[in-house]
Amino acid sequence: MTHPYLQFAPQPRVLAHRGLVTPDEASAGVAENTLAAVAGAQAAGAHYVELDCHLTADGEVVIFHDQKLTRVTGDDRRVRDVTRAELSAIMADRGGLITLRDLLETFPELRFNVDVKVPEAAEPAGRIIAAHADRVLLTSFDDAARLRALAACRSVGGSPATSPGRSIMIQLVLALALRQGARVRRILAPLDALQIPVRMSGVAVFTPRLLRAAHDAGVEVHIWTINDVTEMRRLIASGADGIVTDRADLALRALG
């Protein structure tokens, strides 16, 4: 059966990548993965928002992408080396820090794609997500971290949607290339979506064969990160179920 996460809005799905920060907002200092970015995505009409999480020094799961603060704040410390209060002060004039728990409680109308960026965030993130699992897709580039987060979530009664990390995607692409149909079906069976680039390490990932196999298994295919409207339309016309984009405002107008 289709997971509730994917029953909320009609296709094509537009996933606001790290929220929505327009060029004007970015020039004013608003950063991705912030309270302002999520609010901006919602205001633009997005139903789905893709975000990333880390663990702070005092054990808070916070929304942030990089392991270090450098790119966003100019501070060379790692997220795991600062407290929530310290990070909140740093992000106060950049759109506002938000924790995973506060995110899920503040935006009850939105669906969230939560990417676990570091292993130490997996179990606490999974436990937080459990109460909101019907509107969360849990993922990570690190499949071991993703599976730990899923296990933690399920241990307290939650069952979020999920999409695979890099190692599972490599296995799937290889199984498709070798025409190992039974293995392809086994890989796809526990998944709800494939969130993939068009190409990975020079190898085409989004192919008609992958699309057919995914759809035969009831698995959606979402392509990241696409900011060109012409390319968005081409991918949807080719059968993709959704687009992950930094410009959800443009995508919603183009694909709506």
- List of residues 6+ apart from 143 with CB closer than 8 A: 164, 165, 166, 167, 168
For the chain, list the domains and their CATH numbers. 11-162 (3.20.20.190)
Tens of pLDDT along the chain (256 residues) come to 899 999 977 789 999 999 999 999 999 999 999 999 999 999 999 999 999 999 999 999 999 999 999 999 999 999 999 999 999 999 999 999 999 999 999 999 999 999 999 999 999 999 999 999 999 999 999 999 999 999 999 999 999 999 999 999 999 999 999 999 999 999 999 999 999 999 988 889 999 999 999 999 999 999 999 999 999 999 999 999 999 999 999 999 999 7
Sign of the CA dihedral running 197, 24, 115, 49: negative
- Round to the nearest angstrom and report the end-to-end CA distance of the chain: 25
Question: In terms of pTM, does the model score above 0.95?
Answer: yes
CA–CA distances in Å: residue 164 to residues 80, 127, 167, 175: 25, 19, 8, 15
Rounded Cα gap, residues 29 and 15, in angstroms: 22
Distance CA 138, CA 30 (A): 25
Those residues whose C-beta lies under 8 Å from the C-beta of residue 142, and which sit 6 or more positions away, are 116, 119, 165, 166
Give the pLDDT confidence score for residue 201 in this predicted structure. Answer: 86
Question: In sequence order, which residues have a C-beta less than 8 Å from that of residue 4 and are 6 or more positions away?
Answer: 134, 135, 161
Hunting for tokens 């302002």 — which residue is that?
Answer: 36
**What 3-state class would DSSP assign to 136?**
strand
